[in-house]
Chain A
């Protein structure tokens, strides 16, 4: 297998340059991944907002309301002084002030129209929650008051009993993942750049060497059949690509071994392997188009870096403009990153859930086939022009 051995020797000679790419990739991917690793919520702790209650009605109904509010808010004692209250709101000492008038309970129990005055920080989410609590309390109180003639103390005890009742909610679906795939997602996304760079550098160089007309003719004079020579050539490049892929994904499995034993990892592997095939096809095309080694280095940067920037490798796709993403959708990197992002959020692995991921990976495969066909056409055309 002389051609096979020759390819490996040339790969070996290019190893130092490729190792720079791999080394840089590992360092940067580790940095990026650790910087962007997100802690997912495993529990929920309710926080309390600060409110003030200016109460001029010390009835059991109002006391009950204030006790109810204490469950969701801290009651901050404030004097009923308009400038003091305004300062408290301005400096966020409180976000909500509730003013209960003197004859509130009497009017409320008689069914007359009655108002509670509220002042809150503009656009405050906390205020909405306090509003909900106040409305909920008063509606239940109104309900008991209208249906039976019970005194206000009993109404309060009924309201508290009712409000203590909770309904258990089970969330089904992909909101909470069994394992954190964020590291893997960033790693595999960044893999697009490094894999592209290394494969173009390695495979295009080999093709460039073998496309040298003098060497091509010299090899054609040998007794090695063209089919065997091509097979050895493809085998060497294939093995090179698989080794590059295996090394790069291997590091992710080592670094993130706690989260690696999942179906998500398997899907990441499949997606990245398909992307490797696509990168190989593009490398074949580049090798057939370029005329010298300097062009390969320049093209490696353009082909690997360009799509990485606009497809969400370095900057998440959510932060990229619509127009940019539209342009990026003409590159395989965009679909590869999209597939990774989808895989990272997968929790269910039935056909319906996988359809989206498979679609994206399928598009990457389509790109691979298209680029390979183009590379074969260009290569054949070149060969025929040499033989004419």
Chain B
């Protein structure tokens, strides 16, 4: 096991930020910690890294107890903080060189690693730039380069795409997958369900410091009753039609609002066909019609009763 956390509890006075969190991260996986802001993701990461004292629990990394003095463990961990942690006084190259130098003593090897990291995040044209001169996306890339330059076995990325443009975000996500492909185990925290869904092999959903679900995205989606969501653009629909559609087999709910009919159903391969047949049979004119599989947001919504981004 790369990371093993057992019954972790962290309190800030009356507030329980982490409530009996247990998790295992296996070698070679991209483990996603998903949850809304304030759900305890960063606190959990800080406890795992021994940056915060915790009230209860046990943390092991590489099968050894993690403490602030576990330097042999720390040398194999790469960390990309939620807030960009780079020196304003140093250039892009100097920053990566410094952080890599904390782990790699051999000068030649360090130089090679720094250059690889620069190429990896695509900052080759900006090595002499100071952080203040970089855009948000480039700054995030620099933050990542500083965290991964020493080629760690375990990389922890805490919301690395916050306030990043879509282009840079895709670049970052592709990079994370590539790092994983190269052999690194990754813990990825985010409140963007699309990102987690896109890259993570296993996902843990947190809310108010508690685990509310854990598994692969398929496993998580199978936990909820929603199987399919069909949306139909209709301009005039009578109440009778809504009721009749609701009575069709497998359908769980029908809502008609703003010229859009949203039909939720249990899992079943004929749901879309049965709705289409009804529409055609009753001569209802429609615009677009499409079917969606449930998302992690639906999972979160069904379990907690609120949207992930609430």
A residues whose Cβ falls under 8 Å from a Cβ of B:
2, 5-6, 9-10, 13, 209, 212, 214-215, 217-226, 387-388
Contact = CB atoms under 8 A, between A and B. Distances in A.
B71 A223 contact: yes
B51 A220 contact: yes
Interface string B61-104: 00000001101101101010101111111100010001101110
B61 to A, nearest CB: 12
B71 A217 contact: no
A6 B87 contact: yes
Given A10-B89, A209-B89, A222 B46 contact: no
A9 B94 contact: yes
A222 B74 contact: yes
Contacts of B88: 209
Contacts of B68: 220, 226
Given A215-B87, A388-B53, A225 B81 contact: no
B75 A223 contact: yes
B49 interface: yes
A225 B69 contact: yes
Contacts of A220: 49-51, 68
B52 interface: yes
A225 B84 CA distance: 23
A13 B85 contact: no
Contact of B51 (A13, A212, A217, A224): A217
Nearest to B94: A9
A101 B266 CA distance: 144
A215 B85 contact: yes
Given A9-B89, A9-B90, A10-B87, 7 more contacts: A209-B88, A217-B49, A218-B85, A220-B68, A222-B103, A224-B71, A388-B53
B38 to A, nearest CB: 18
Contact of B52 (A9, A209, A222, A387): A387
Nearest to B79: A221
Interface of B: 46, 49-53, 68-69, 71-72, 74-75, 77, 79, 81, 83-90, 94, 98-99, 101-103, 146
Majority DSSP secondary structure for residues of B touching A: loop
A228 B176 CA distance: 32
A210 B65 CA distance: 27
Contact of A223 (B81, B84, B90, B102): B102
B87 A221 contact: no
A386 B246 CA distance: 56
Contact of A218 (B71, B79, B101): B79
B18 to A, nearest CB: 14
B186 to A, nearest CB: 16
Contact of B49 (A5, A221, A226, A388): A221
Nearest to A388: B53
9 contacts: A10-B87, A214-B84, A217-B85, A218-B85, A218-B99, A222-B74, A223-B72, A223-B103, A388-B52
B40 to A, nearest CB: 16
A209 B89 CA distance: 9
Closest 6 CB pairs of A and B: A222-B102, A223-B75, A218-B85, A214-B85, A2-B101, A223-B71
A2 B98 contact: yes
A218 B81 contact: yes
B92 to A, nearest CB: 14
Contacts of B75: 223
A221 B80 CA distance: 10
Contacts of A9: 89-90, 94
A220 B87 CA distance: 15
Contacts of B98: 2, 5-6
Contacts of A5: 98, 101
Contacts of B49: 217, 220-221
